Structure 1
Amino acid sequence: MERNYSIDFIKFFATVFVVCIHVNPSHDDFFLGNQENVLDVIVDTFARFAVPFFFIVSGYLFMNKIQKHPKPSAYLKKYTWNISKLYACWFIFYLLFGVVLRLFQNHGTLAERKDAVADYLTSSITFKDIFYYGSDTSGFQLWYLIALIWAVVIVFLFQRWKKTGLLMLISTVLYVTGLFGQSYSLFFPLSFQTRDALFFGLFYTVLGAMFALYGKQILSVLNARPMIYLASFFVFSALEIAERYWLVNIQHSKPGDYFISTIFLSASLFLFVLSSPSLGKNSFFSKVGKNSVGIYVVHICILNETYRLLRSIDSSFFTNSIVAYVLIVPAVFWCSYYLYRGIQWTKGKLHAKPHKHSFTKLQHK
């Protein structure tokens, strides 16, 4: 498969917008009671393209690989094992990180802090959270990794059964159902979380797999210039903002993680990627974009410590939305990038085998 350089290029911007979602000062993760403003609505809603894009890319690359791999089952095992190791390591890290945060917080007696730790561990160490939701530790963003594991396994099975089209239909029904656990809950509320593997991640992973199978035919039929797809992405993004505003700000539903418009803007963006395979080739953005998963898993601990520091300085200044997006987002993003690169460099050094003499072979992991 010829390399598509635009994937890493767009992943850079998608990762930046993931950080924007979590930096949003109107969210309750770090500051309580901040009033949401228009800028928060626009940035938070527009940024919702990011995670669907990651799922689509994963489904696209996975399907391309298993179609050409001599042993698809072996590749699935290797793929899921690598993600599982990443998930397990960071799950443990964030579990302990959450313990430290609660034990050494600035308020409460020691007994109250110990009770907070016990409650935290009780809610985090459950079968459904570890093996399905993955979002109850301080590393709530890890839900993406466990959702991706489930999604690619399901895609693999349906591909082996030659029922990928049926899976596309099933995942679409699940996605639409999942909307009622999001901002559409005002019409028919669901009592469970639908930002997960089955109701969210599966649809976009299957969509990516379908692009791998039929992308060339789709581009041939549409026969549009790349800028048309990019313009469509921005048009549907504007519709998503309007959709979110109507549901949340007018109808007073709860904020959601995905919407109906998310389908069309995500498809438009990936069609742009498919039609512009050389975009970002050898660029700095693509180089950084290759590390998107690393930045994704690291950035919450950086953000947590950043806001803890800022709260001790002047929270009223740093909860300003413009300051948050212009100053805090780049700071958290680049700190996360260089921390992850540092971790990778350290791992490389630890796994390197030193020469003992000229006849010693250098072993690589």
Structure 2
Amino acid sequence: MSTVKPRKQMEQIAMYAPGKPVEELQRELGITHVIKMASNENPYGSSPLAQQAVQNEIKNTHYYPEITAPVLAEKLAAHLNIDKNRLIFGNGSDEIIRLLTRTYIEENDEVIMASVTFPRYKTNVIIDGGVPVEVEMKEGTHDLQAMRAAITDKTKMIFVCNPNNPTGTIVGAKELLEFIESVPAHIVVVVDEAYYEYVHTDDYLETLDYMEQYPNLISLRTFSKIYGLASLRVGYGIMHPDIAGELLKNKDPFNVNRFAQVAALASLDDEEFMNNTKTWNDAGRRYLEDECQKRELPSFPSHTNFIMVDTKRPAEKVYNELLKRGVIIRPGHMMGYPTMIRVTIGTEDENHLFIKALDEVLQLQEVTERG
């Protein structure tokens, strides 16, 4: 046993538990056909333009990448119609979260977040010595009124995941804007918009329109989801240039690799791929919601590429039985929802296979419960 002691904050931290990899399940159960509907990856892959860009970049493998991804910054800024000095890129938007807490959170600073949301907020706050203040949700949605009431003189930062992971819900545009307006200017408001491209309502706040008015407002986005570049790890933050400058002091020099930069750059040219993904995802979401409704299995209203469904049975058991049938999902018992499962919206075939497997699992459990 090692006698080297970690920082006291590490006592509260557990290793992040990702969705089970396909290869791991294949090895464990000796099955070949596995569908992964656990990690909110794009089931349609990534843009062919991005794939070709990565192939072309192989010849430059021996070179370090440019530190601030200036070519990508220029193009993305034009795409979003913002000043490029507002952008900072990370090894996934996870890194931007870490940079924010490392830069702004001091010992005992409080950071407000929802009780069921992306876990890396809480983890990074604890590691950097801060105190996470978790506010109970209301029907799977952020309770912004309660979050506003939780602000104290120790509050330094607030995270709002919109759409929220793992529930898929959003807060309305007017409600979110009123919340941002009500937060004191010295408190950083981080709106994590990793899934914003999937939103299918007009009642959604375009935070970029308010960056100038609220210098404490930050938006996080990523190329991992709708663009399908999850393995390359490239996320970005949009914020006041002064905040971006502070984060750059903390950033590892070569954090976004060459392949990630060129793939993200090329992805911006393939609007057809993104539009097709959204169209297919919308159809898949409606199918899964309808099928669950037929089975009287309620779900949260989703604005993402996943849905969270109440199976009315222990989520861990449902998860394990689905694994035996080659279907990987995320059980809700680890997220505070003991009977719910989170399911990534797959291709048409994957969605049908999931429903078929779910029916088998639910029928099996009914038989078991009857004895």
Considering the TM-score relative to the shorter chain, is it more than 0.5? Answer: no
TM range (shorter): under 0.3
- Name the TM-score, length of structure 1 as normaliser: 0.24
Structure in which a larger fraction of residues adopt strand: 2
- Name the TM-score, length of structure 2 as normaliser: 0.24
